[in-house]
Amino acid sequence: MVIVNSIMASLHHILAFTLAACLVYEFIAYRKGLTVAEARRIQRVDLLYGVSAGVLIVVGLLRVYFFEKGPNYYFANHVFWTKMALFVIVGLLSIYPTVRYIRWNPTLAQGVAPEIPDAEFRNIRLLLWLEMAGLVLILFAAPLMARGVGF
């Protein structure tokens, strides 16, 4: 069981790092004056961001229920619930940028780079900042939770 727990923990960490890398990429790459190739790359990275978040939730829940310390440990810990709430908030914050990236498809299909209005640019830039801040808070909460802080 130790090996399976280790594999699940490693998978959880790989997914978390993938999610973080995708968010950092979007944060750095999103700007005014994107080329078609850059816009498509942001779309692909955003898709990977969403997929890694979804699989991360599944693996995390498997760890809670079947591996590690069990549901009684996690559900009684308020840092666990803080971490989960932050994850949900980051996920909700990511919806608007994702929708905007998807709306680029007709323009990109014509081989034209997307025009990003100033207000939309500011909104997405703010949301990416907030997502990054939420991710940092999650990264602070995770080791606290794992070490029993929050009971």
**Each residue's pLDDT expressed in tens, for the chain with a length of 151 residues:** 789 999 999 999 999 999 999 999 999 999 999 999 999 999 999 999 999 999 999 999 999 999 888 899 999 999 999 999 999 999 999 999 999 999 999 999 999 999 999 999 999 999 999 999 999 999 999 999 988 888 8
pTM higher than 0.85, yes or no? yes
SS3 per-residue string spanning the chain: CHHHHHHHHHHHHHHHHHHHHHHHHHHHHCCCCCCHHHHHHHHHHHHHHHHHHHHHHHHHHHHHHHCCCCHHHHHCCHHHHHHHHHHHHHHHHCHHHHHHHHCCHHHHHCCCCCCCCHHHHHHHHHHHHHHHHHHHHHHHHHHHHHCCCCC
